[in-house]
A and B are shown apart, each in its own frame.
Chain A
Amino acid sequence: SQTIHQWPATLVQPVGSPLSLECTVEGTSNPNLYWYRQAAGRGLQLLFYSVGIGQISSEVPQNLSASRPQDRQFILSSKKLLLSDSGFYLCAWTKARSYGYTFGSGTRLTVV
């Protein structure tokens, strides 16, 4: 069966520090991968998605970037965190839209 892993579960980082969140999927190949951010009162915002290695589409301009160095690995990064980067970050995958999207357990990021 397929599983999705996100880590770390929680993270407290100072303003201006770098960020790296990792997401991996097991049990499938060539999934579509997604990063969402859930901020208080703002719902779920799609940040990036990827349909293959090295292919990244950005949905919103921001202080973040994404990379897909391997087929089932999706990384969210920042060189310098801002207070506004705080939130709950969720990774998701799908093989086809009609199957639905499976979400990871999320990373709670607090920038202080």
Chain B
Amino acid sequence: AQSVTQLGSHVSVSEGALVLLRCNYSSSVPPYLFWYVQYPNQGLQLLLKYTSAATLVKGINGFEAEFKKSETSFHLTKPSAHMSDAAEYFCAVTVPGGADGLTFGKGTHLIIQP
């Protein structure tokens, strides 16, 4: 079975500062990894995904993530935070084959300070 650990249930950064949200995964086979964003009372929106192609993945809204197999990590970054980035962020894992769903981390609430 796969699992995901997101370090930090809350992360606070100043507007214009670097955003770094941490995600570590556990999987016995090469994984697929995803980052989703959730605004209050809304569904989840896919930010980016890693599916065994390039290890540096670029997503929407200026976010990117790097898959590091040696560190079993898939951290999400953005060079300059905007107020509109304030939301809940979820890292998720699955593996090729089968049909069962994503396994999610517990989420990180990103707070942007003006």
Cβ of A49 and Cβ of B43 under 8 Å apart?
no
Q: Taking beta carbons and an 8 Å cutoff, which residues of B are in contact with A?
A: 32, 34, 36, 41-46, 49, 51, 90, 94-107
B45 neighbours in A (Cβ, 8 Å): 103
Within 8 A of B (CB), among A82-100: 88, 90, 92, 97-98, 100
Docked CA distance A101–B72 (Å): 22
Would you give the shortest CB distance from B102 to chain A, in whole angstroms?
6
Give the distance in Å from the alpha carbon of A89 to the alpha carbon of B49 in the complex: 23
What bracket does the count of chain A residues touching chain B fall in? 20 to 34
On whether the beta carbons of B41 and A100 are closer than 8 Å, the reply is no
Within A20-36, the residues touching B (CB, 8 Å) are 32, 34, 36
Residues of B within 8 A of A46 (CB): 100-103
Whether A57 contacts B100 by the Cβ 8 Å rule is yes
List, in ascending order, chain B residues with CB within 8 A of A97's CB. Answer: 32, 51, 94-98
Given contacts A43-B106, A43-B107, A44-B90, contact A101 B101 (CB under 8 A): yes
Q: Tell me if B46 and A100 are in contact (CB < 8 A).
A: yes
- Residues from chain B with a CB closer than 8 A to the CB of A59 are 100-101
Assess whether A102 is in contact with B46, with CB atoms less than 8 Å apart: yes
The answer on a CB contact under 8 Å between A106 and B106 is no
Q: In the complex, how many angstroms separate the beta carbon of B94 from the nearest chain A beta carbon?
A: 5
CA distance A105 to B42 in the complex (A): 5
Selected A-B contacts with CB under 8 Å, 24 pairs: A43-B106, A44-B90, A44-B102, A44-B107, A46-B100, A46-B101, A49-B100, A51-B99, A97-B95, A97-B96, A97-B98, A98-B32, A98-B49, A98-B51, A98-B96, A100-B34, A100-B49, A101-B102, A103-B43, A103-B44, A104-B43, A105-B43, A106-B41, A108-B41
- Whether B99 contacts A49 by the Cβ 8 Å rule is yes
Task: Please name the 8 residue pairs, one residue from A and one from B, whose CB atoms are nearest each other, closest first.
Answer: A103-B43, A98-B51, A44-B104, A103-B44, A43-B106, A46-B101, A105-B43, A34-B101
> What distance in Å separates the Cβ of A48 from its nearest Cβ neighbour in chain B?
9
B-chain residues with CB within 8 Å of residue A57 when the two chains form the complex: 99-100
